[in-house]
Structure 1
Amino acid sequence: MKAIGYQNAGPISAENALVEFDADTPEIGPNDLLVEVRGVSVNPVDIKVRATAQPEGQPRILGFDAAGVVKEIGENVTRFRPGDEVFYAGDITRPGTNAALHAVDERIVGRKPVSLSFVEAAGMPLTSITAWEILFDSFSLNEEKGEGEALLVVGGAGGVGSILIQLAKKLTALTVIATASRNDTRAWVEKMGADHIINHRNPLDEEMKALNISPKYVASLTHTAQHFASINALIKPRGHIALIDDPKSLDVASIKPKALSLSWEFMFARSMFHTDDMDEQHKLLNKVSELLDSGTLLSTVNKQGGTLSVENLRAAHEFQESGSAIGKTVLEGLSQ
């Protein structure tokens, strides 16, 4: 089958940063689906892996988000049948979705929203899982919690921020403040439903003083090290900070006086370690699918990059690295 990957870790500007090659059809395990990939998206994790993780042997296939059609099922599969339309975010320990066919454990797969095309549906899984786990696992919220409290989303116009704002507004009672610095990103987070918008080019605690709001929850999605002192200053005592980026160091002791909680969100943890509750991602993706089909949630796709090819994928990686991406970027799959 056709696949796109990389042979040597490094910058996207390198001549052969991405290559197309012939790969073996994936072998499926007892809990796996073999999916014909119809749509994929690009996430920051694609950039990090390509830049830093040196492949062993043949090129490593990138890509995590996918939407497609089930072609074959493993002997223990109970949730899906051939012909089912699915979407999912994959497993960082296995070959990726930038290929014609992809093997994935059914426990991390959801039913594709019928209201979205395959390409648009491919933009939703990874960010939706991340945002859902921040709200309902890290922060332990539910639809009855959050009344009178606020959530600050640092990096509101990115893929995770875009769906996190929506989930918080639709499924909790939280007031949502999002950061954005440009006119286009401010307009985007307003469209996603943010109650207030502040500028992360300025000290966050100063921006929050102007709103006279002290959030109990902070989702720091980017530049955590830069903003950590401000977050500590603005958050309520006994509040909770969740982050997804990779700061080299944080002054964790500084948050002790407020008795703050600090947690990382990494949506691949369940699939990496085959946790007992691994199928929670199957359940939450089905719920997200229902919310998209009902119109409760909006698609966060903001750019379609054409059909998956070395040239188009390189352009999508460059766009993601530029810092100007809003929402999600998607491409048609190789199987189309």
Structure 2
Amino acid sequence: MSQKLPATMKAVGLYKYLPISDTNSLLNLEISLPELRKRDVLVKVKAIAVNPIDTKQRAPKPKVEISPRILGWDGAGVVVAKGVNARIHNIGQEVFFTGNLARNGSNAEYIALDEVHVALKPTNLTFEQAAAMPLTSVTAYESLYDRLLLTEKDKGKSILIINSAGGVGSVASQLAKHLGLKVIGTASRSETKAFSIDNGADIVLNHTQDLLPQLKDIGYGNGVDYILVNYDPYPYWDTLMTAIKPQGRICLIVDSSGLVDLRPLKEKSITLVSEQMGTRIKYETEDIFRHQEILQTVSQMLEKGDLKCTLTKVMKPINAENLKEAHRLLEEQHLIGKLVLSGF
């Protein structure tokens, strides 16, 4: 039975896609609550994470929206209503969730989500801590388990994680370490190197310098078994082709900014895969509920301490002013860990 809900809600959205410095880039709005589809749950939002994809979605383009676009692709809150076919969650449960690029997001008091996007919030985490984890954790989990096909049998093998201090990289490092792999991260500043080590990297290389001699110096001159690239692969391409062992696997989570030569893959029989967190959702694949399964597994790992939260900064409340500042910080690319906004 649904709780009594208001007719309208606060939200932060946009009509025009503008630089974050523009006054109208993000606006405080009062809009109607979203309508529920049959398999939806309605979540009252307590906290939201801000991710690089938010800034990319908001980036300047000529399109103008008739109805406001609400960004935000993960968060945490409480289930307050559900569609007629929603079976997984009950009203009153505390949950965390990923978003859907095809629908309005979490920068609002309420969000309607297909139940596959939602899992029980880890009981040991606050709403702010929980909100920091869904998007990066599902992406990292899919990258390692579903794309690179890592299992416990790979204990002792090596993985190079480009940009190991980033949101996905810091979770992927923890997951790889949990599987018993030798985790080689990359960072450049002393604080990002320390963050990488704290989140599971055994060794951290400097990605502003040639990685190949650094790999040789630490005993991996013959290459690594796996590579996860959490950055534009274009400037790294030749290095990747040399650094990967024959029959190794490389996973990309960021688009290449330029054309690359795939021919070196054949000689070594390299498997090249890509990860996009929303693939199962967008194409309604037969294993669509794998998304919810992964998110629930992440919740359990966080409760057990097999994963730890990567939250480093909280801003209050959720409004246009603070979201603009959050977007600005992300666009400067100096933020370490996850940034969360809390409360309306």
Q: Give the TM-score, by structure 2 length.
A: 0.94
- Unaligned 5+ residue runs, structure 1? none
CA distance in 2, matches of 1:204, 1:256: 22
Cα contact 1:80–1:106 (8 A) shared by 2:
yes
RMSD: 1.2
CA distance in 1, matches of 2:60, 2:24: 15
Aligned to 2:106: 97
Alignment equivalent of 2:271, drawn from 261, 265, 275: 261
The separation in 2 between residues aligned to 1:80 and 1:107, in whole angstroms, is 10
Alignment of 1:65-144 (within 5 A): 65-142=74-151, 144=152
1:304 to 2:314 alignment: yes
Structure 2: stretches of 5+ with no match in the other structure:
1-8
How far apart are 1:147 and its partner, in Å? Answer: 2.7
Match 1:274 to one of 277, 281, 284: 284
Q: Who is 1:21 aligned against?
A: 29
3-state secondary structure, aligned to 2:159: strand
User: Letter of the aligned partner of 2:157 in structure 1?
Assistant: E
- SS for the counterpart of 1:257 is helix
Using the alignment, how far apart are the partners of 1:23 and 1:229 within structure 2? 50
1:9 to partner: Cα distance? 1.4
Contact 2:148 2:273 in 1 (8 A): no
| Equivalent residues in 2 for 1:145-156, closer than 5 Å | 145-156=153-164
Equivalence for 2:327: 317
Matches within 5 A, 1:223-238: 223-238=232-247
Please state if 1:186 is matched with 2:193.
Answer: yes
Q: Aligned partners of 1:140, 1:100: CA distance in 2, in Å?
A: 38
In 2, distance between residues paired with 1:18 and 1:308? 12
**Alignment partners' CA distance in 1, 2:156 and 2:190:** 29
Find 1:196's aligned residue among 203, 209, 220. Answer: 203
Aligned length: 332
Report the 3-state secondary structure (helix = DSSP H, G, I; strand = E; otherwise coil) of the residue aligned with 1:27: coil
Equivalent residue letter for 1:25: L
1:286 maps to a residue whose letter is Q
Query: Which of 7, 10, 32 is the aligned partner of 2:15?
Result: 7
Q: Secondary structure at the match of 1:8?
A: strand
2:338 aligned to 321, 328, 333, which one? 328
Bigger Cα displacement from structure 2, 194-203 vs 207-216: 207-216
Secondary structure at 2:245 match in 1: coil
Distance 2:119 2:72 in 1: 17
Deviation string, structure 1 residues 206-246 (Cα, Å, up to 9, x no partner)? 22111112211100001311111111111101111111112
Q: How far apart, CA to CA, are the structure 2 residues paired with 1:4 and 1:59?
A: 9
Q: Do the aligned partners of 1:219 and 1:243 also contact (CA within 8 Å) in 2?
A: yes
Q: Give the secondary structure class of the aligned counterpart of 1:239.
A: strand
CA distance in 2, matches of 1:272, 1:23: 26
- The answer to whether the 8 A contact 1:46-1:62 is kept is yes
Q: Partner residue of 1:45? A: 53
Task: Tell me which residue corresponds to 1:288.
Answer: 298
Q: Deviations over 1:148-172 (max 9, x none)?
A: 31011000111001110001111x1
CA contact (8 A) 1:39 1:66 kept: yes
Supply the AA of the counterpart residue of 2:228.
A
Aligned partners of 1:210, 1:52: CA distance in 2, in Å?
Answer: 44
Q: Kindly state the Cα deviation for residue 10 of structure 1 after the two structures are TM-superposed.
A: 2.7
Q: Which segment is superposed worse, 266-275 or 29-38?
A: 266-275
Shift of 1:56: 2.7
1:30 to 17, 35, 38: 38
Percent of aligned pairs with the same residue? 40
Instruction: Report the equivalent of 2:252.
Output: 243
In the TM superposition, residue 290 of structure 1 has moved relative to its aligned partner by 1.2
Normalized per residue, the structure richer in strand is: 2
Instruction: Look up the equivalent residue of 2:274 and give its one-letter code.
Output: W
For the residue of structure 2 that corresponds to 1:7, the secondary structure is: strand
Q: Partners in 2 of 1:51 and 1:333 — Cα distance?
A: 25
Q: What is the deviation of 1:55?
A: 4.7
Per mean C-alpha deviation after superposition, the further-off stretch among 155-164 and 269-278 is 269-278
| 1:99–1:333 Cα contact (<8 Å) kept | no
Q: Larger RCO: Structure 1 or Structure 2 (Cα < 8 Å, ≥ 6 residues apart)?
A: 1
